Amino acid sequence: MQFDPNCAYSALNGECITCAYGYYQSDYKCLQSNLQCKTYDLSNGECLTCYDGYDLRNQGSCVDVNLVDPNCVHYTNSTCTQCIRDFYVNTTGKLPKCVPVSSACEVFEPTTGVCKGCRIGFKVSSVDPRHCVDENCMIYNGDECQTCRQPFFLFNNTCTIVVILPKEPRNCTVFQNSVCSSCIPNYFLRNGSCIKASPLCATVDPRTGFCLSCYSGYTLNAGSCVITPIQAAPVTTTTPAAPVTSAKAINDTNCKIKGDQACKECYPGYWLNTSICQAVNSQCQTFDNLTGYCTSCYPGYALTGRGECKIPVDDPNCNNNVNGKCLACKESFSLGADGTCSRQINLCATIDKATGKCATCFPGYKLVDSKCVVQFVPSMYCKKNDGKVCLECANGFFIKNGDCQQVSTLCEKFNNVTGDCTSCFTGYQLIGGTC
């Protein structure tokens, strides 16, 4: 057996017993471990600890801290091989990195980002299959539409026929193309409206208007400032002093101090509801003595907007979760009244929570088989229609999807059914129905 130069101790037959430092044994051979390993497993070479400047990742890889991708969940030999949901591994650059998938793509190849299926109203781009584009868009840049085919118009990056221009919102300083982009001082843009910042905020997030810090006497809770709760006195095992009562005092065992007609103060863990002491939710750490609503919760519970403490729900479609309460959803998802994120359906105004299907459509669209389709509005190029579809188009246009679409200006003659060119003007060549 040939001597292995990376072997520290060998048997008489030449088989390696112990490898030199920095090497591990595999099939009687000494293989080099990751050079960034400070300590490693002698049986497989996987790193146990890393040198300064490197971060230990799964499968015993030491990755340069400057190259660690927060969206990567799996490394092999210091290289990212798997990303989080809605991201794919991009291998076109110097180093593989996690890149977000097209917002309208619902099914994609995780290693290339190539979209296999788009949401309703979108199609895979013929220029770059990693992008989904509006099916009524003629010119686009990445995911964004630049120009729509007639008679569609671009509105909120969507090609639509009917556009209802919203009124200029109050307190808006810049209102262009029916969209508010700037508000007056102390107002912040949120969902197209200018919302006033809370006067209890000491500092405010300039992007959302949510509180970042509060003035003295107030506590930050889910982006708002609330009165700092007074810590309830701990319950002790000592017998409380007998309450002062009179002959007319109410018979309430949870009342600490009784008056002539009603209870004035309850024992810890109870709040005064008019004149009766009622138990507070057991998950409340502190609470409002006047309403019984929780103002803070014990660890493991989150405060809801209804003053209740519940186990936080980790919604994978939530983009901003504060104390178990979702404030904003990821792109292509909308925040419902119940605080959950549901996938948006193209052109759908409301969604049936029970079925997940479209319930109503935006203006200009009608509901057909739980899908929103364009209400027929004949374009200026339609010469004849039956109220549902166009039957005859002007010269240079052909019928597609019930309406008129322009034929390529390079076509001398074309097929009236498909719109494909059958002959081209001088200087152009016909290839597959295109000049």
Share of the chain above pLDDT 90, in %: 0
Mean pLDDT of 68-73: 78
This prediction has a pTM of 0.28
pLDDT higher than 80, residue 155 = no
> Which of 23-32, 291-300, 316-325 ranks highest by mean pLDDT?
23-32
**Model pLDDT, residue 240:** 43
Strand partners, 305: none
Confidence of residue 372 (pLDDT cuts 50, 70, 90): confident
pLDDT higher than 70, residue 104 = yes
Share of the chain above pLDDT 70, in %: 76
pLDDT higher than 50, residue 243 = no
Mean pLDDT of 106-116: 81
pLDDT higher than 50, residue 247 = no
> Could you report the per-residue pLDDT of 254-264, keeping only the tens digit for each?
888 887 777 88
> Which of 76-80, 270-274, 360-364, 369-373 ranks highest by mean pLDDT?
270-274
Mean pLDDT of 285-306: 76
Mean pLDDT of 22-47: 82
> Could you report the per-residue pLDDT of 395-431, keeping only the tens digit for each?
778 888 777 888 887 788 888 788 888 888 776 788 8
Mean pLDDT of 23-45: 82
Lowest-confidence pick of 86-95, 127-136, 219-228, 236-245? 236-245
Confidence of residue 167 (pLDDT cuts 50, 70, 90): low
> Could you report the per-residue pLDDT of 311-347, keeping only the tens digit for each?
665 666 777 766 556 777 776 566 765 566 766 666 6
**Model pLDDT, residue 359:** 82
